[in-house]
Amino acid sequence: MPDRERVYRTEALILKHSDFGEADRLVTVFTPYYGKLRLLAKGARKPSSRKAGHLESFTRTQLLVARGRNLDIITQAQMVESYAALRRDLWRVSNAYYIGELADAFGEELAENRPMYDLLCRALGWVSELPNLRQALRVFELRLLDVVGYRPELFHCVGCKAAIEPDDNYFSAQEGGVLCPRCGKGRGGARTIPLAVLKVLRHMQTHDDATCLQLRLQPSTLSMMEQVQAEYLTHVLERRLKSVEFLHLLRPPTA
Ligand SMILES: [Zn+2]
């Protein structure tokens, strides 16, 4: 539990909500100090509810929460940032859903991760406003991997530790990074990674957001980045699912 107080106050990003019982909503949020939380918003589906408008997905909200026996309960909600531009554009909203899904998948309950919270706020801003959302998502994914502890190794071969040379190298999701041509050739699970793609990924890993978001990239480079990053994210998530989330799912209520 967040603390021993009977009520606590927290800022939160609303990731998603689902119907619960007759009139309630189950709201999944990400917070700066308590990580991911699943909270109950009582009566939020009643037309008269004043809370509902402050609990829409992809809004930043100030919450007052009361500890409950099973689920903590949202007693007050005050929206701080609506990311209104998102909601006027289906493509932008779709990108926000992707961010929300990754946040849900990587977020750990009751585990403080302020950098992840800040990143999610910034990323929702990007997909609300920026022209190139595809590029924004790639920057988001790389930053996310950093803040959850799965930064891919792009500078040294994950096989022999040698510095990576400007060459056609390989990338292995299983091994968590780049392989030099000697180690990567014929290695199971390794794919070639063109130099142009590796250069951009390395640049993004080592430069600030603004610089990365302004890079002018070839569509072919972006699409190759998307493939490589998706493969890596999928691998990391499956590993997490097996090791952590799966246990959470299977754990009986009494354990
Ligand atoms: Zn090597």
Task: State the CB neighbour count (10 A cutoff) for residue 113.
Answer: 22
Kindly give the distance from the C-alpha atom of residue 162 to the centroid of ligand 1, in angstroms, as a whole number: 6
- For 14, the 3-state DSSP assignment is strand
pLDDT digits (tens, 9 = 90+) for 30-58: 999 999 999 999 999 888 888 888 899 99
Euclidean distance between CA atoms 135 and 214, whole angstroms: 9
The residues pairing with 27 across neighbouring beta strands, listed in sequence order, are 17, 39
Kindly give the distance from the C-alpha atom of residue 212 to the centroid of ligand 1, in angstroms, as a whole number: 28
Q: Compute CA distances 87 → 18, 51, 57, 105, 130, whole Å.
A: 19, 19, 10, 23, 14
Kindly give the distance from the C-alpha atom of residue 185 to the centroid of ligand 1, in angstroms, as a whole number: 10
The whole-number pLDDT of residue 254 equals 57
How many helices and strands (H and E) does the chain possess? Answer: 8, 8
Kindly give the distance from the C-alpha atom of residue 163 to the centroid of ligand 1, in angstroms, as a whole number: 8
Kindly give the distance from the C-alpha atom of residue 170 to the centroid of ligand 1, in angstroms, as a whole number: 9
Query: Is pLDDT of 16 > 70?
Result: yes
Q: What is the pTM of this model?
A: 0.91
The whole-number pLDDT of residue 53 equals 83
Kindly give the distance from the C-alpha atom of residue 250 to the centroid of ligand 1, in angstroms, as a whole number: 40
Kindly give the distance from the C-alpha atom of residue 174 to the centroid of ligand 1, in angstroms, as a whole number: 15
Is the distance from CB of 148 to CB of 116 less than 8 angstroms?
A: yes
pLDDT digits (tens, 9 = 90+) for 143-153: 999 999 999 99
Is the distance from CB of 14 to CB of 37 less than 8 angstroms?
A: no
Q: Is the dihedral of CA 226, 227, 228, 233 positive or negative?
A: positive
Kindly give the distance from the C-alpha atom of residue 186 to the centroid of ligand 1, in angstroms, as a whole number: 12
Per-residue pLDDT averaged across 93-106, rounded?
93
Two tokens, residue 97: 């859903």
Kindly give the distance from the C-alpha atom of residue 188 to the centroid of ligand 1, in angstroms, as a whole number: 14
Task: Assign domain 7-129 to a CATH class.
Answer: mainly beta
Kindly give the distance from the C-alpha atom of residue 165 to the centroid of ligand 1, in angstroms, as a whole number: 10
Per-residue pLDDT averaged across 129-155, rounded?
96
Kindly give the distance from the C-alpha atom of residue 153 to the centroid of ligand 1, in angstroms, as a whole number: 12
Domain boundary assignment for the chain: 7-129, 140-250
Q: Compute CA distances 13 → 20, 90, 117, 123, whole Å.
A: 20, 20, 8, 12
Kindly give the distance from the C-alpha atom of residue 149 to the centroid of ligand 1, in angstroms, as a whole number: 23
The single-letter DSSP state of residue 84 is: G
Is the distance from CB of 34 to CB of 64 less than 8 angstroms?
A: no
